[in-house]
Structure 1
């Protein structure tokens, strides 16, 4: 019995020593979750985010609050141009300035299984539920000019305050710091609200420039503005009654300019925001009261929004808010012969062909067959 006990104790002691040795041993990569680089049997997995082939053939929905005017048409052109260069396809959902319809269009885009959704304008109250639903289903979303605050959803916006400041400062300079002006503006749109901030500051800075009338309607904006401006001109019929008109949207500027020109009141100058080919033709016309506008190329806006979406597809990080820098376009800087927005870069520094958000891999994606 004693001999067996001694053998048993010897075996038990040996086993304990082995366990202690195993616990005390440290792997070569302790403190690092990665396998030891010196182990020839271990290889790092390939980085999937370097493979752009998965980005071809994406289906993209563009959900718009409204598609009125040439600015919107050129913006859509920019979206389609960039998506098609990336090998994808765009479907446009126009909502006719009806927020309820826009919310339904967003739901439809989510339910139809698009890979990504671009949103143009709208209001958070109508959009955020649909945006959150899209994100929950793994659909990438990028917003332009809507005050949507959903984590993981980049929002593009023009530097609206800067655009308003550029035009208002020129108005004040041309007017000599005093006069009577008409404001055409409408509440309820994120970019309009940002432009209004600059307008309030302008009023404080130039107390001798008085606002005598303010109006604005986003439904049929050019036609409605023309009709309302015609009424204002009858209310203030004498030369000098109105110094200038400041408009917070190019559709407003079109309507106001047509009314002023038809009434022969071209002593009144019009200052606008945004730019399209149609707008540029009016500004170049020496008989037109519309003399200047601050804007970002609408085609570039569309292209940059698409680039932002494709960065989301690829898993790259975007800033929560992406600000697009405007330029100031005035008649005095333009040639006498007519030019379009494609040619405008020859005369206005910073206009068109923006490289913002354009990554090297995107060039590769455009060239991929």
Structure 2
């Protein structure tokens, strides 16, 4: 959800690629199952091991570039449940896609008596000064999806190049290695730039797959994609004119899917990156053109990030970069007789929602 040398507004909005919205307090309703009851999460949570009572009651700040959409809501929920499982409290501050405001909120957190700081998106230019100030004051920092290179800071990122490559290879297999495709992508965000590397290499290696159109914007991405895709479908009105859409962010996949459905062109396959409950509902819809998405469980992203922060609070040495493991979710793997959400997805897709990354030897653990 979520740019480089464009206007500040575009930079900020583009960072939305990771999508998603959460409440300001980082809370969120537990999803319900098909019988109306609460779904029991299959999450693995770290807890404090014996002899670590000094880590109880830590105040953690999460400084976000944006907090809009389902992905971010689930991400924040993951941070919150992991921090609380480790005995801490979380305060969420979101900057509404304003990088200057994000830098200001980070500076306030550094001076606000917090024991640890997490950041979500943003740019190195916006965050570096505040992060360096935090490190100088002995406040540990763990960032997600920002190209920070500050000694002592751990940066989490999704395996964007590998994710993109895996998704493209799935698309290739599904369309028989040839056909016309539409690319939806926007420049400027670190994750997007990494995904583009794999896309270019794939297209260079597969000359029978032709890109006939490309577009993308971070301003109202799902709606804009829908509008632009509708126009492209009119340019290419015949079945077989377009084989697939490669959407480098799930907000793009939503818009492309809606346009294709409304035009009755569901022979066109859609492939997306990232996953939320809303995405999963669209993928499960009968005859949906959205057939596959690759993602890290957004709750697991939050959990893993919080674990690395607590490693730092414990005095552990942590890596400068942590790459999160992604999972390919295909429509064919999902149940046909009921609709599920991402909390239940791990029952059908191996590896989803059960990440143990970041759990140190001194931590306990629990399966919720």
TM range (shorter): 0.7 to 0.9
Work out whether residues 297 and 352 of structure 1, in 8 Å CA contact, stay in contact via their aligned partners in 2: yes
User: What is the SS of the residue equivalent to 2:204?
Assistant: helix
Does residue 1:70 correspond to 2:91, yes or no? no
- Aligned twin of 2:343: 342
Question: 1: distance between equivalents of 2:322 and 2:135?
Answer: 19
User: What is the SS of the residue equivalent to 2:156?
Assistant: strand
Higher relative contact order at CA 8 Å, sep ≥6: structure 1 or structure 2? Answer: 2
Does residue 1:174 correspond to 2:170, yes or no? no
Structure 1 unaligned residues grouped into runs of 5+: 1-48
Work out whether residues 97 and 219 of structure 1, in 8 Å CA contact, stay in contact via their aligned partners in 2: no
Does residue 1:295 correspond to 2:295, yes or no? yes
Deviation at 1:55, TM superposition (A): 0.9
Question: 2: distance between equivalents of 1:220 and 1:93?
Answer: 22
Structure 1 stretch displaced more, 238-247 or 50-59: 50-59
Write out aligned runs for 1:232-243 (5 A): 232-243=232-243
Structure 1 stretch displaced more, 155-164 or 350-359: 350-359
- Aligned twin of 1:191: 191
TM-superposition CA deviations, 1:48-75 (whole Å, max 9, x none): x984122111111111112222111100
- Aligned twin of 1:37: none
Write out aligned runs for 1:44-59 (5 A): 51-59=51-59
Question: 2: distance between equivalents of 1:100 and 1:253?
Answer: 29
- Aligned twin of 2:363: 362
**What is the number of residues matched between the two proteins?**
317
For normalisation by structure 1, the TM-score amounts to: 0.83
Question: 1: distance between equivalents of 2:162 and 2:171?
Answer: 14
> Rg bigger for which structure?
1
TM-superposition CA deviations, 1:181-219 (whole Å, max 9, x none): 111111111111111111011111111211111111223
Write out aligned runs for 1:265-344 (5 A): 265-336=265-336, 337-344=338-345
- Aligned twin of 2:24: none
Deviation at 1:167, TM superposition (A): 0.9
TM-superposition CA deviations, 1:314-353 (whole Å, max 9, x none): 1001111111111111011111121211211121111112
Work out whether residues 163 and 294 of structure 1, in 8 Å CA contact, stay in contact via their aligned partners in 2: yes
Structure 2 unaligned residues grouped into runs of 5+: 1-48
Question: 1: distance between equivalents of 2:110 and 2:223?
Answer: 35
Question: 1: distance between equivalents of 2:259 and 2:108?
Answer: 40
- Aligned twin of 2:221: 221
Question: 1: distance between equivalents of 2:65 and 2:94?
Answer: 6
User: What is the SS of the residue equivalent to 1:287?
Assistant: coil
Structural RMSD (CA): 1.6
Does residue 1:136 correspond to 2:136, yes or no? yes
Higher helix share: 1
Deviation at 1:360, TM superposition (A): 4.3
- Aligned twin of 2:32: none
Question: 2: distance between equivalents of 1:196 and 1:155?
Answer: 20
Deviation at 1:173, TM superposition (A): 1.2
User: What is the SS of the residue equivalent to 1:117?
Assistant: strand
Question: 2: distance between equivalents of 1:51 and 1:291?
Answer: 48
- Aligned twin of 1:6: none
Write out aligned runs for 1:107-186 (5 A): 107-186=107-186
TM-superposition CA deviations, 1:72-91 (whole Å, max 9, x none): 11001000010111121111
Work out whether residues 69 and 251 of structure 1, in 8 Å CA contact, stay in contact via their aligned partners in 2: no
- Aligned twin of 1:80: 80
Structure 1 stretch displaced more, 117-126 or 213-222: 213-222
Deviation at 1:250, TM superposition (A): 0.9
Work out whether residues 134 and 141 of structure 1, in 8 Å CA contact, stay in contact via their aligned partners in 2: yes
